[in-house]
Amino acid sequence: MPFASEVRLEGKAALLEPIALHPAAAAFSDVAVFGHAAVLSRPIEPAEVESVRINGDPRIHTLSFATTKPACPSAALRTDVRPPRLRFPAKIAPLPKPPSAEMTIPLKERLSSALQPPITTLLGDTDVWLPFEPFAYQFDGIQFLYSRFAALLGDEMGLGKTMQTILAMRLLFRSGLISNALLVCPKPLTTNWMREFSMWADEIPVAVIQGETHARRRLWLHDRSPVKLINYEALTRDEDLLSEGKAAFDLVVLDEAQRIKNRESNTAAVAHTIKRRRSWVLTGTPVENHAGDLCSLLEFCNNGRKIREETNAVLRAETAAVLLRRTKEQVGNDLPPKLITDCLVDLGPAQRERYESAERDGVRQLNLLEEAATIEHVFELIRWLKNICNFDPVTGESAKAEKLKADLEEIAASGKKAILFSQYVTTIEKLAETLADFRPLVFHGKVPNVQRDGVIQTFREDRNRPIILMSYGTGAVGLNLQFANYVFLYDRWWNPAVEDQAVNRAHRIGQKEPVFVSRFITPQTIEERVAQILARKRDLFSALIEGLEPAESVLTEEEVFGLFDLKFMPRRNDAA
């Protein structure tokens, strides 16, 4: 492999250890490299390198150099030839000391990363087989990750964060810039990550850390697979091993990284203790509830450097240094439209009477409690009222279910598929009975893990099963359901980011037709008031991530109490 052993920095000669370059690396007579991107396409001989200049911050630099030979064109992408599986060393060399918040990236590593050819050239290597060519914005995402020691990939759900991450990791391995990596994800997504690795990097062995304590410890310490995959729950159980420093990685990736948004949680604490040199976080929802959600993610990216939470402007500046986020609107040419409708469904007379009676009784009970009432008392009333909006608990009447059945008649007749989301398993179970003629499939927390892949496969392949009923908690992340064109939000989740995740099960890369989203809302009920709160939370997300000023900052306890006509000021519940 060619290398450069002497460079000139700011006009002064400096002798370095050999810097390995990719075999496809090349040079133009004057090349500017912004961030870590390069335009290189043929080997550089040591004698060719006359000068190298690095300006500005070591993490975001401009590099230029001169050579004596012209460049040749990049190789074209190859998708027709599969390479042999790569052989990885049985023993991985010990890692250098991970960079601290105060340390800069060593010059050798900066040059080694910067003097790589562009991603399209690396992926054009005849040994790199791809099932199909990524979109242009995905190449940008791969380049972003590949060049970063600290990265927050915040693409909206459905734009292919998993694929971009795997290809960036694959190129880092092939370029010799990393030798091992740890990937942490929610437990239900383990199967999906394994499937995606087999599609996009099947030459890279992946070990799943699971099982009993002794089995996991053996995998941590003795398995030599270059990629280890573990779920968040198992990670926290292995806290002692990680805190002892017995496992260290060139790269750690946190998928659905909002799992560490609470700085005080055990999950966040354990994630921060992992010894690592590169830190990537993946999440389509960097802000779920309030601005503080971002801080823990940014601190992980920056290897523990504390992030001040003084103003939105400070957080925006910190976020901009590590964030790449694209929305479906920005890459709209690659996706069909998403059409969202707020479907107002009036309660029938009996269901309306039941609802109003329950709200009156609930408010009266809260007023009797006075300052002893906590936010949990209010949430309990909200949950009860939302369930009545779904189904009358006495008669079983449901205005929403009647509307849904009418819509499903048309969907089934056209051969299309629909996904329905609800917060409540009891609602899903009642809907399964109500919609029995449509043979609905169910997918929620009570469905055993071993059966879930089969449920999804049946929904995908059986034309006579037009609808699947899902809980937000189980079905909103990690599933690729782009063969469905209709999404029903039967009731509204408190967090608009979770609703977006649910909708994006269908509206994602691979979808060929428009996606129609119906958000059921019963007027003059708690659902209408909740919808107004969700709109304010969307303002907060836009303020921090998309650079707009917020209308409101965070939903307070007072606002939750304000959903009802109470005659007292709430006692603040700091534990809530």
pLDDT of residue 464: 93
Q: Which domain holds residue 56?
A: 3-66
Q: Within a domain: residue 71?
A: no
* 274 and 353 inside one domain: no
- State pLDDT tens for residues 480-511: 888 999 999 999 887 777 888 888 888 887 78
- Claim to verify: residue 277 and residue 391 sit in the same structural domain: no
Q: Is residue 117 part of a domain?
A: no
Q: Is the domain of 197 the same as that of 215? A: yes
Q: What is the CATH number of the domain that holds 465?
A: 3.40.50.300
Average pLDDT over residues 64-81: 35
Alpha carbons within 13 A on the beta-carbon side of 520: 24
| 419 vs 261: which has the higher pLDDT | 419
Total domain count, the chain: 3
Whether residue 510 is found in the same domain as residue 525: yes
Q: Does residue 107 carry a pLDDT above 70?
A: no
In terms of domains, do 374 and 310 share one? no
CATH code for the domain in which residue 249 is found = 3.40.50.10810
Side-chain half-sphere CA neighbours of 311 within 13 A: 5
Percentage of residues in the chain having pLDDT higher than 70: 68
Task: Report long-range pairs for 194-203 (Cβ below 8 Å, ≥24 apart).
Answer: 194/229, 196/162, 196/163, 196/166, 197/166, 197/227, 199/131, 200/130, 200/131, 200/163, 200/166, 200/167, 200/170, 201/166, 201/167, 201/169, 201/170, 202/85, 203/83, 203/84, 203/85, 203/86
pLDDT in tens, 319-372: 888 899 988 777 766 678 888 888 888 898 899 999 999 999 998 888 888 777
- Structure tokens belonging to residue 292: 């503080």
The predicted model gives 180-207 an average pLDDT of 89
Last residue of a domain, one of 40, 66, 92: 66
Query: pLDDT category, 36, cuts 50, 70, 90?
Result: very low
- Looking at residue 288, its amino acid is E
- pLDDT of the residue at 391: 95
Give one word for 104, left, alpha or beta, with left for phi > 0 and alpha for psi -120 to 50. Answer: beta
Tell me, yes or no, whether 72 lies in a domain. Answer: no
Helices 190-200 and 161-174, packing angle to 10 deg? 50
In this structure, is residue 258 part of a structural domain?
A: yes
Q: Tell whether 353 and 322 lie within a shared domain.
A: no
Same domain, 407 and 278: no
CA gap 522, 349 in Å, rounded: 13
> Which residues are CB-neighbours of 509 under 8 A, at least 6 positions away?
135, 158, 159, 160, 334, 335, 482
In a domain, 101, yes or no: no
| Enclosing H/E stretch for 34 | strand 33-35
**Which residue in the block uniquely carries the two structure tokens 């030599």?**
224
Q: Is residue 570 part of a domain?
A: no
One domain for residues 327 and 385: no
Q: Is residue 253 part of a domain?
A: yes
C-alpha to C-alpha distances, 105 to 108, 120, 142, 150, 367, nearest whole angstrom: 8, 25, 20, 11, 60
Q: Which residue bears the tokens 């899903």? A: 428
Nearest partner of 499 among 444, 420, 440, 553, judged by Cα: 420
On whether both 316 and 194 belong to a single domain, the answer is yes
3-state SS, residue 537: helix
pLDDT band at 562 (very low <50, low <70, confident <90, very high): low
